[in-house]
Amino acid sequence: MSADLSGVVLLDKPAGMTSQQAVSRVKRALGVRKAGHGGTLDPDATGLLVIGVGRATRLLGYVLGHDKIYSATIRLGVGTVTDDAAGEPLGEVRDASRLDLATVSQAMARLTGEIQQVPSAVSAIKVDGRRAYAMVRRGEAVELASRAVTVRRFDLRQAVVSAPWLDLEVEVECSSGTYIRALARDLGRDLGVGGHLTRLRRQWIAGFPPDRMVGLEAVGRPDVASLISLTEAAGWLFDSVTVPDSMVADITQGRPIPVSLTGTTDHPTAILGRVRPQSGSAEPVVVGLYRADPDHGGRAVPVAVFISGGDGDGIVTVSDSSAMALSDQSRPTSPPGGIGDEQDPSAHDQTRRGQ
| Residues known to be catalytic | 42
- Of 62, 68, 78, nearest to 8 by C-alpha is 62
Task: For residue 221, report the phi and psi dihedrals to the nearest 5 degrees.
Answer: -70, 135
Instruction: Please name the residues in contact with 40: beta carbons below 8 A apart, sequence gap of 6 or more.
Output: 19, 124, 331, 332, 334, 342, 343
Please answer whether residues 271 and 287 qualify as being in contact, where contact means their C-beta atoms are separated by less than 8 angstroms. yes
| Whole-number Å distance between alpha carbons of 27 and 42 | 19
| Whole-number Å distance between alpha carbons of 288 and 271 | 5
What does R_g of the chain's alpha carbons equal in angstroms?
22
Please answer whether residues 323 and 296 qualify as being in contact, where contact means their C-beta atoms are separated by less than 8 angstroms. no
| DSSP code per residue over 269-319 | EEEEE-S-GGGS-PPPEEEEEEEE-TTSTT-EEEEEEEEESSSSSSEEEEE
Task: For residue 297, report the phi and psi dihedrals to the nearest 5 degrees.
Answer: -60, 145
